[in-house]
Amino acid sequence: MAAGALLCVALAFLGCLVSSFPFIDEIYEGSPCPLEDGAIGVCKKLPDCAPRLNEVQAGRRSSDSSGRCGFTDFTEIVCCSLNISDKIGSRPADVACQQYYNEVTSEGVVFHILGGEATSPGEFPYLAALGYLETDEDTEGVIKYSCGGTLISSQHVLTAAHCVSNINDQVPIEVRLGSEDLESSDPIPQRIPISSIIPHPSYKRSVNYNDIAIVKLKTPARLTNTVKPICLQTKSLTTSQIPANASLVVTGWGATSSFGDGSTKLLKAAGLRFIEKDSCSKLYTEFRRLPRGLDDGMICALDSNTTRRADACQGDSGGPLLMLSENSQTVVGVTSFGQACGGPSPGVYTSVYSYLDWIEAQVWPDQASD
C-alpha cells in the first residue's frame, strides 16, 4: 500500500513537471513527454521502447506518427509509456523467472576458463552452443560450435549480435543444449534447428555497441534437469543489492590458453569481479570499435586473481555473464569483446538490464508493456 502511494506521488510530481515543460526542441532522452492518451511518458531511444518498436515492426509507424521526441546520433527518440510493471516487480521477465526451477550449486564456486577447472555435470543447464555449418572443402557439412548463448525461455536463446551478424556472413543453424561434451554422440543433448535470428536493430558490424541478439528455436526445448532456462537480471546493477556471497561467473567452451583452440569436452567457468565504468573506459580509449567509448549498455568484469587472470576467450562469445548466490542465478551480461584473453584489461559484456525492454518484446510480446 505504501509503495502504491509513493508511486502515485511520484507520478503526480512528474505530471507537474510535464505541465510546464515546453515540448519543443528541448526534449531529450529521459525527459517527460505526453502520450497520445494524455498520460505521461518518458523519452527513450526507439530500440529501447518495446511498444513503439512493435508499431514499427507491424508497419503502424511512419515519419508522421505522433509520440516523437527527436533524434540523437541518427537514432529516433520516442515518447514511451512509463514501465510501471518494472517498478512493482511484475514485468514479463520476473513472471517467467518465477516459473523456472533454478537449482544453484553451493559447493565452492571458484571457477575459471583459463586455468581449466571443469564444472559439475548439469551445473549450467541453461548454457547453449550455437552451431554453424562448415563450408571449407575438407570440413563441408560439419557443424562447428563457435559461439555460446543462454536459454532464457523454452524457445529463445540470448547471445551476442556479432555471433549472428558478422563479416564472414556466417549464421548459426542449430542450438545444442544440455551438453558438456560437444563431440559426444550421446542422445541426451538436444540439437534444435533455429527458426529465426533477431539481432538488436541498432547493432552495426563495424562497432561494438548493441551487441546482443535473440535466437528463436524451431521447436521448444524439452525442459529437464540438464536443460532449463535462467532468470534475467531485472534490476540495475548500480541500484540492486548484490549479495555478499554472490559470485560473478562466465561460462563456455572457450579457449583454455591465450592462443589455444576452444575446448569441446569440458564446460568451463570463471570467477570475476565488476570493474567501475570509469576505470574500464580508460583502458579502451584507443579502441577503434568504440568511437563513443563505453556506453551504459556495457559491463566490465575481470578476474581478481592477478596471477591467474581467468577470462572468457573468443570461443565464449555470446555466452552468459552470471551472478550466482545461494538463492538465485541470473544472467547479467552477454560476452561481447576484450583486448586479450587472460590479459590485464577487463572483458566487456553487454548489459542484460539495459536491453530488458527489447528482450521482453521479442520473447514475451503478449506480456510486454503496451
- Catalytic option among 48, 211, 303, 311: 211
User: Would you say residue 126 has pLDDT above 80?
Assistant: yes
Answer yes or no: 317 catalytic: yes
Single out the catalytic residue among 162, 263, 351, 354. 162
Lowest mean pLDDT among 140-144, 286-290, 365-369: 365-369
The C-alpha cell at 206 is 563495424
DSSP letter for each residue of 274-343: EE-HHHHHHTTTT-TT-TT-S-TTEEEEE-S-TTT-----GGGTTPEEEEE-SS-EEEEEEEEE-SSTTS
Residue 288: exposure state from Cβ atoms within 10 A (0-12, 13-18, ≥19): exposed
**73 counts as catalytic:** no
**Annotated catalytic, 211?**
yes
Closest C-alpha among 257, 273, 254, 275 to residue 265: 254
Distance CA 151, CA 181 (A): 18
Per-residue pLDDT, 17 = 37
CB atoms within 10 A of CB 18: 17
> What local confidence, expressed as pLDDT, does residue 235 receive?
84
- Of the pLDDT bands very low, low, confident and very high (cuts 50, 70, 90), residue 28 is low
| Tens of pLDDT, residues 256-291 | 333 345 555 545 565 678 888 888 998 888 888 999
Q: Which of 189, 172, 192 is nearest to 181 (CA)?
A: 189
The domain ranges of the chain are: 2-82, 94-106+230-354, 127-229+357-362
How does pLDDT run across 332-345, given as a tens digit for each residue?
Answer: 999 998 876 666 78
Quick: pLDDT tens for 171-217: 899 999 988 777 766 667 899 999 999 999 999 999 999 999 999 99
Residue 363, SS3? Answer: helix
Three-class DSSP category at 26: coil
pLDDT of residue 33: 79
CATH number for 94-106+230-354 (one of 2.40.10.10, 1.10.10.10, 3.40.190.80, 3.40.605.10): it is 2.40.10.10
pLDDT at 170 over 60: yes
Residues contacting residue 310 through CB under 8 Å, at least 6 positions apart: 111, 112, 113, 114, 115, 270, 271, 272, 303, 342
pTM (2 d.p.): 0.70
Under the banding of pLDDT at 50, 70 and 90, the label for residue 34 is confident
- Exposed / middle / buried, residue 281 (Cβ in 10 Å: 0-12, 13-18, 19+): middle
Residue appearing with cell numbers 517467467: 96
Is residue 357 within 8 A of residue 48, CB to CB? The reply is yes
Q: Which residues pair with 175 in a beta bridge?
A: 130, 192
340's grid cell: 586479450
Question: What pairs with residue 349 in β-bridges?
Answer: 299, 335
Superfamily of domain 127-229+357-362: Trypsin-like serine proteases (2.40.10.10)
Please determine whether the domains at 94-106+230-354 and 127-229+357-362 fall in the same fold group of CATH.
yes
The answer as to CATH 3.90.660 being correct for domain 2-82 is: no
Mean pLDDT over 290-306 rounds to 85
The mean pLDDT of the chain is 75
Q: How far apart are the first and last CA of the chain?
A: 24
